[in-house]
Amino acid sequence: MQNNKYNYDVIYIGSGHAAFDGAKKLCKKGFKIAFVEADAVGGTCPNWGCNAKITLDLPITLAKKQHRMNSIVEGDTKVNWHANMQNKHAGIDNIKINREATMKSLGMDVIHGFAKFTDAHTLEINGEHVTSDKIVIATGLTPHKVNVENTELSHDSKDFLNLDKMPKSMAIVGTGYIAMEFATMANEAGADVTMLMHSDKALRGFYQPYVEKVINEMKESGIHFIQNADIHAFNRDSDNYVVNYGDKQELNVEWILDASGRVPMVHNMGLEEIGVKYDDKKGVIVNDYLQTSVNNIYASGDVAATGQPNLTPTATFESQYLNHLFAGENDKAIDFPAIPSVVFTSPRISQMGVSVAEAEKSDEYTIEKHDMAGTWFRQATKAKIAENAYVFDKEHRLVGFTEISDDADNTIDTLVPAVNMHMNEEEIERNVHLFPSIGHEAWKNL
Ligand SMILES: Cc1cc2nc3c(=O)[nH]c(=O)nc-3n(C[C@H](O)[C@H](O)[C@H](O)COP(=O)(O)OP(=O)(O)OC[C@H]3O[C@@H](n4cnc5c(N)ncnc54)[C@H](O)[C@@H]3O)c2cc1C
Ligand SMILES: NC(=O)c1ccc[n+]([C@@H]2O[C@H](COP(=O)([O-])OP(=O)(O)OC[C@H]3O[C@@H](n4cnc5c(N)ncnc54)[C@H](O)[C@@H]3O)[C@@H](O)[C@H]2O)c1
């Protein structure tokens, strides 16, 4: 215990990666810690985000690969969605229980309930008051609902990740990460999927020529895309639903997924009353130390308006930064590395650091593009699309990378040190990689 004035040294509101990853190190340094969790311990990522999604996606990816290699690996592979969901439950449902047990075994408290500030050091949870020297807002994001008539008839990503039976037809609102990934899964599992685009662009942050290729692949698999859909309403039609869009157009489907984005969890927490500033769309306003407008209150992860990608590795990085800051081991401003991101479509798209679009506008960078599909290693799995672009600075150090391929997640991950350690030629050559491997292939282009 670092202080005797309050019940705790640090309380985290939320128990996701933005809280737990740094907290577990801080508690080993003698800090008295509690998490307040309104829903499942562990937060979005394990329960209804990354882990749940990828557990359902991996059999889908395998089936797609098998279709492509059908002349070699014979037989007609079909995904049994119900069995896939059972496998997800088996792998995911206990994570929250195990995570809570770990927290408690490390000496940290878990308080179940919705936290509301009554002053800068006090939270009210289920009518009880708990105090802390520092409080970290790590409340994440929640699904946005499109502002159309009967919007409540649609479902969100959490509902999809618990779908026991795949509907025959599905309308998906949006073409961001969740929309594109879930459309890929639903289509392979047998649903007739229609994407209702907000504009004529998808995955705006990614290299658009690669996004176009992913859309073409999705179309070839039978997914429909309606650009500038302009949705007005959702309605019931006996057992089905109708999406009213455009100029009196209708789409009749069994299920509607609203994947129109996620918004910060900042409401009904008493933030206005105690002076914590936030933006409805961007989240809690923080300075370069993740400190809010109230000195002893910090924000971490998706809910913090840092301008960084809202991803698990970002949440972990921020949580670990706060561990060192609170322990007095670091008094410097947070310095974000390049954070890799991947869209788990088929093929996947990955990106980190300086984007191709940014590099094309500046003479500070050079771009080297490779079409890898014909290389022997990618052809071993009959890869159809495998392209990448390396962005170099004037000293020819790697500063950005993007790839479209079935292996784009692994390729980018292996290149992270080259970007974040600003490796020169000698350092790159000192790193000897396994052969044959995707990693070896990615490094040899440096
Ligand atoms: C479908 C989906 C797929 C994703 N896939 C990936 C992926 O493949 N890779 C990746 O890197 N990222 C992915 N993400 C993003 C990733 O899940 C988030 O970036 C990450 O979970 C953020 O962690 P966090 O701790 O900031 O917030 P969260 O994990 O959302 O945790 C916030 C917690 O706070 C709780 N809470 C909120 N308000 C209160 C309150 N007032 N009182 C008490 N508790 C409260 C919530 O119940 C929640 O448990 C995905 C997200 C979704 C939705
Ligand atoms: N692979 C991953 O790492 C992964 C996967 C899923 C989610 N995530 C994280 O979760 C966050 C949320 O994902 P997401 O897909 O919900 O958000 P997103 O911001 O990626 O996509 C939102 C989509 O909804 C559309 N849209 C916005 N307003 C609309 C409206 N009024 N009507 C119709 N469409 C509208 C947008 O044009 C966009 O296509 C992402 O930012 C990402 O950080 C990451």
The answer to whether 102 and 35 have CB atoms below 8 angstroms apart is no
What pLDDT is stored for residue 4 in this prediction? 80
**Ligand located closest to 11 CA:** 1
Q: Which among 20, 41, 45, 142 is the best mutation to test ligand 1's pocket, defined by most ligand atoms within 8 Å of the CB?
A: 45
Q: How far are the Cα atoms of 65, 114, 215 from residue 218, in angstroms, in the given order?
A: 14, 41, 5
Higher pLDDT, 3 or 423: 423
- In this structure, the strands spanning 169-173 and 141-143 are unpaired
Q: Which among 48, 145, 198, 339 is the best mutation to test ligand 2's pocket, defined by most ligand atoms within 8 Å of the CB?
A: 198
Q: How far are the Cα atoms of 111, 125, 252, 284 from residue 129, in angstroms, in the given order?
A: 11, 6, 50, 23
Ligand 1 neighbour 194 (Cβ under 6 A): no
Percentage of the chain exceeding pLDDT 70:
99
Give tens-digit pLDDT for 393-428: 999 999 999 999 999 999 999 999 999 999 999 999
* Residue 148 pLDDT greater than 80, yes or no: yes
Of 2-16, 42-56, 91-105, 208-222, the poorest mean pLDDT is in: 2-16
Q: According to the 3-state scheme, what is the secondary structure of the chain?
A: CCCCCCCEEEEEECCCHHHHHHHHHHHHCCCCEEEEECCCCCCHHHHHCHHHHHHHHHHHHHHHHHHHCCCCCCCCCCCCHHHHHHHHHHHHCCHHHHHHHHHHHCCCEEEECCCEEEECCEEEECCEEEEEEEEEECCCEEECCCCCECHHHCECHHHHCCCCCCCCEEEEECCCHHHHHHHHHHHHCCCEEEEECCCCCCCCCCCHHHHHHHHHHHHHCCCEEECCCCEEEEEEECCEEEEEECCCEEEEECEEEECCCEEECCCCCCHHHHCCCEECCCEECCCCCCECCCCCEEECHHHECCCCCCCHHHHHHHHHHHHHHHCCCCCCCCCCCCCCEEECCCCEEEEEECCHHHHHCCCCCEEEEEECCCCHHHHCCCCCCCEEEEEECCCCCEEEEEEEECCHHHHHHHHHHHHHCCCCHHHHHHCCCCCCCHHHHHHCCC
Specify the amino acid at residue 399: V
Ligand 2 neighbour 412 (Cβ under 6 A): no
Strand partners, 149: 233
**Dist. CA 312 → ligand 1 center (Å):** 8
Give tens-digit pLDDT for 183-199: 999 999 999 999 999 99
For ligand 1, atom 21, name the residue with the nearest CA.
Answer: 45
Q: Is ipTM beyond 0.95?
A: yes
Q: How confident is the model at residue 322 (pLDDT cuts 50, 70, 90)?
A: very high
- Mean pLDDT within 95-113: 98
- Mean pLDDT within 213-230: 98
**Ligand located closest to 302 CA:** 1
* Residue 209 pLDDT greater than 80, yes or no: yes
**Dist. CA 28 → ligand 2 center (Å):** 37
Q: Which among 44, 55, 274 is the best mutation to test ligand 1's pocket, defined by most ligand atoms within 8 Å of the CB?
A: 44
**Ligand located closest to 178 CA:** 2
For ligand 2, atom 35, name the residue with the nearest CA.
Answer: 260
**Ligand located closest to 52 CA:** 1
**Dist. CA 386 → ligand 1 center (Å):** 31
Ligand 2 neighbour 175 (Cβ under 6 A): yes
Give tens-digit pLDDT for 363-404: 999 999 999 999 999 999 899 999 999 999 999 999 999 999
Ligand 1 neighbour 409 (Cβ under 6 A): no
**Ligand located closest to 44 CA:** 1
Ligand 2 neighbour 179 (Cβ under 6 A): yes
**Dist. CA 144 → ligand 2 center (Å):** 9
**Ligand located closest to 158 CA:** 1
- In this structure, the strands spanning 224-226 and 192-196 are parallel
The answer to whether 439 and 410 have CB atoms below 8 angstroms apart is yes
* Residue 1 pLDDT greater than 90, yes or no: no
Q: Give the separation between CA 416 and CA 69, rounded to whole angstroms.
A: 30
Ligand 1 neighbour 14 (Cβ under 6 A): yes
The answer to whether 291 and 7 have CB atoms below 8 angstroms apart is no
**Dist. CA 12 → ligand 1 center (Å):** 14
- Mean pLDDT within 270-296: 98
What pLDDT is stored for residue 76 in this prediction? 81
Q: Give the separation between CA 420 and CA 398, rounded to whole angstroms.
A: 9
Q: Give the separation between CA 392 and CA 400, rounded to whole angstroms.
A: 7
Ligand 2 neighbour 313 (Cβ under 6 A): no
CA 396 to chain centre: 30
Q: Give the separation between CA 178 and CA 154, rounded to whole angstroms.
A: 15
Chain length of the chain:
446
**Dist. CA 342 → ligand 2 center (Å):** 13
For ligand 1, atom 47, name the residue with the nearest CA.
Answer: 39
In the numeric block, the tokens 């000698």 are attached to 426
Q: Give the separation between CA 139 and CA 266, rounded to whole angstroms.
A: 8
**Dist. CA 44 → ligand 1 center (Å):** 3
What pLDDT is stored for residue 137 in this prediction? 99
